[in-house]
Amino acid sequence: MPQLSHAVYFTLKHRTPEAAAKLVASCQKHLTGHPGTVFFSAGTCAAEYDREVNDRDYDVALTIVFESHAAHDVYQTAPRHEQFIAENATDWAKVRVFDANLA
């Protein structure tokens, strides 16, 4: 079974460096260390990359690679993940999720 890359791009209602830093800190608090996590990262849009092909309509990027689809599915209903959503959803203008099977 392939690993699953779970990439989430958050556009904030208040697009400030402080709001982005707060969301990154919340990602690190609530979304790290879940069972089956192979890789975790959370960070801000790299403003210095402004080529025509760069999608810059986000403030915070989250990437978690799970060892399996089953691990991802457990994560989706985990209390810490649900707490993250409850604490932060009102700050989001848009959320885009890209789930990909890794070769």
Q: Reply yes or no on whether the pLDDT at 1 is more than 90.
A: no
What pTM, to 2 d.p., does this model score? 0.94
Contacts for 42 with CB less than 8 Å, ≥ 6 apart: 24, 27, 28, 31, 60, 61, 62, 63
98, 10 in Cβ contact below 8 A?
no
Domain positions in the chain are 3-48+56-102
pLDDT score recorded for residue 47: 87
- Work out whether strand 92-102 and strand 60-66 pair parallel, antiparallel, or are unpaired: unpaired
Whether 35 has a pLDDT exceeding 90, the answer reads yes
pLDDT reported for residue 88: 98
> Using 50, 70 and 90 to split pLDDT, how confident is the model at 78?
very high
Write down the CATH number for the domain with range 3-48+56-102.
3.30.70.100
Among all chains, which residue has been given the structure tokens 């608090």? 29
Does residue 59 carry a pLDDT above 90? yes
